[in-house]
Amino acid sequence: MSATTRAPRPGEVDGRHYHFLSDDEFRRAVAAGNFLEWVDYGGNLYGTLRRDVDAKLAAGYDVILEIELEGARAIRRAIPAATLIFVAPPSPGELARRLHGRATDSDAAIARRLEIAKDEIAAEHEFDAVVVNDEAQQAAAAVVAIITQRRSNETRDKGE
């Protein structure tokens, strides 16, 4: 679960959908080194709390983070063995259609997100795998297959 400074959308619950923090709370957590990665994205701060990831990894779980490019780069630096999967839109036009269709952001916010997406798509080569999100269930199955293959390779490499 990410932390963010953005206001909750209708139906979102603190501690269930996000850790909703004030700007000051977020910046104090950054200064204390509490984030594995964080970024200013579209005028709001988002980040992954280190304690959440560490607890899941220590319990033997895989951790999937839904983060943007700078966050992925920070994860690569912090956890070099992480598998980075880029989930790409079928096309820029389809991404725009989906963002407008959600009706959760202003036109200006959508325009900012589409500009950011151009840079992200151009950097997909930095990832270990790319999954095109034509259809959500197929994309999710492709991500699971990548993770399963990675686990299988790690087990084989350890001689287990």
**Residue spans per domain, the chain:** 1-60, 83-160
- What does the alpha-carbon distance between residue 29 and residue 159 come to, in Å, rounded to a whole number? 40
What is the sign, positive or negative, of the torsion defined by CA atoms of 155, 156, 157, 158? Answer: positive
Q: Percentage of the chain with pLDDT > 70? A: 99
In the predicted structure, residue 31 carries a pLDDT above the cut 90 = yes
Superfamily of domain 83-160: P-loop containing nucleotide triphosphate hydrolases (3.40.50.300)
Which one is predicted more confidently, 104 or 125?
Answer: 125
Task: Give the pLDDT confidence of 48-100 residue by residue, as tens digits.
Answer: 999 999 999 999 899 999 888 989 999 999 899 899 999 999 999 999 999 99
* pTM greater than the 0.85 cutoff: no
Has domain 1-60 been given CATH number 3.30.1200.10? no
Tokens found for residue 103:
């009706």
Q: What is the dihedral of CA 90, 18, 84, 138, to 10 degrees?
A: -40
